[in-house]
Structure 1
Amino acid sequence: MPAAATNLADLYTDHHQWLQQWLRRRLGNAADAADMAHDTFVRILSKRQSGMLAQPLHEPRAYLSTIARGLVIDHWRRRELEQAWLQTLAALPEEAMPAPEVRLQALQALMEIDRLLHTLKPKVRSAFLLAQLDGLTCPQIAKHLGVSLATAERYVAQGLRACYASRFEA
């Protein structure tokens, strides 16, 4: 068994190149891979500074790839969201096209909403979206999800609480 990684500088020196290659295979892009490798080590540094990661790493590559995998998923989700936003903008008539700063603000808001929605449990997220986007009532949501009315109401309320908390936590 290899020695446990205890020093961030050693972890970086020993595994950065491997991580960057691992990411390049998944992303198909050296620049994105370099950025994500950097972001992976920034996450580790912030965890260590906050005291969340005080133990030595016995499986550093597994730990690095777990963090990087989450970053890759976030990256692809952001890309999909950006593409959907660009398609929406392309469908607008020229006179309805928002100003560039408004487009950027809207995209940032969409990314924040996406981040928030992905913190919710899947059934809570589904119930909330069914209520907010599809306009379903709680009895309709209960039937659609195969849960009790009380559970559907609780799910929608949890989604609303998460939105309010996110909005007013600043």
Structure 2
Amino acid sequence: MPPTAPTPRHTLHTLYSEHHSWLQGWLRKKLSCSQQAADLAQDTFLRLLISGRLPEPERSRAYLTQIAKGLLVDQYRRRQLEQAYLEALARVPECHAPSPETRALVIETLVCIDAHLGRLPQIVRETFLLSQFDGLKYSEIAERLGIATATVRKYMLKASLACYAALEESPASGTPAR
């Protein structure tokens, strides 16, 4: 009787057994924190489990490293957003400060908006940021970017729709991500 191909669960188990310690050590060197390294190593394997895609055995470490690097970038971006939000909150009188639960929901929503905006072309994001954070008028944005004012309107619509989609998916809306 010919041997049967390993089941995906068995392959994931093997991958975990053979590479988890190595990955955690690699992350520990990057993060200088064993707890964060342990969490990110687990998150890496969770991503594999959820995706259902497993690498060829000879590409296991490269594949795991690629996923872990993506998680590191996500963590870094999240921390930047969280830090900016907390700095803004520090300027709010304590009596008007949101509850810890509200803070957590706002941070999750900001991360979701950032992810949606990150999927847009660079010029669309730049248009949106110039409008929303620099307070430029559409005509000023058009002049700065060398595009038509009508194009600025079109880009703002795309960015606004991305933000709306993010709000629909955010934890605060109660609607799960698709």
State the TM-score, normalized to the length of structure 2: 0.78
Once residues 55 and 31 of structure 1 are traced to their aligned partners in structure 2, the CA distance between those partners, rounded to angstroms, is: 26
Summarize deviations over 1:79-132 as a string: whole Å, max 9, x none: 122222222222322323233333233222222222222222222111112223
- Alignment partner of 1:38 is 2:42: yes
Greater Cα shift, 87-96 or 30-39:
87-96
Structure 2 residue identity aligned to 1:143? E
Secondary structure of residue in 1 paired with 2:114:
helix
The 5 Å alignment of 1:11-160 reads 11-48=15-52, 53=53, 56-160=56-160
Structure 2: give runs of 5+ residues left out of the alignment: 1-7, 170-174
Once residues 160 and 18 of structure 2 are traced to their aligned partners in structure 1, the CA distance between those partners, rounded to angstroms, is: 45
Q: Pairwise CA RMSD of aligned residues?
A: 2.2
Structure 1 residue identity aligned to 2:154? R
Summarize deviations over 1:50-107 as a string: whole Å, max 9, x none: xxx2663541111111110010011111112222222222232232323333323322
- Equivalenced residue count is 161
Once residues 54 and 31 of structure 1 are traced to their aligned partners in structure 2, the CA distance between those partners, rounded to angstroms, is: 25
Structure 1: give runs of 5+ residues left out of the alignment: 1-5
Report the CA distance shift for 1:147/1:25 in structure 2 as closer, same or farther (over 3 A). Answer: farther
Identity of aligned residues (%): 45
State the TM-score, normalized to the length of structure 1: 0.81
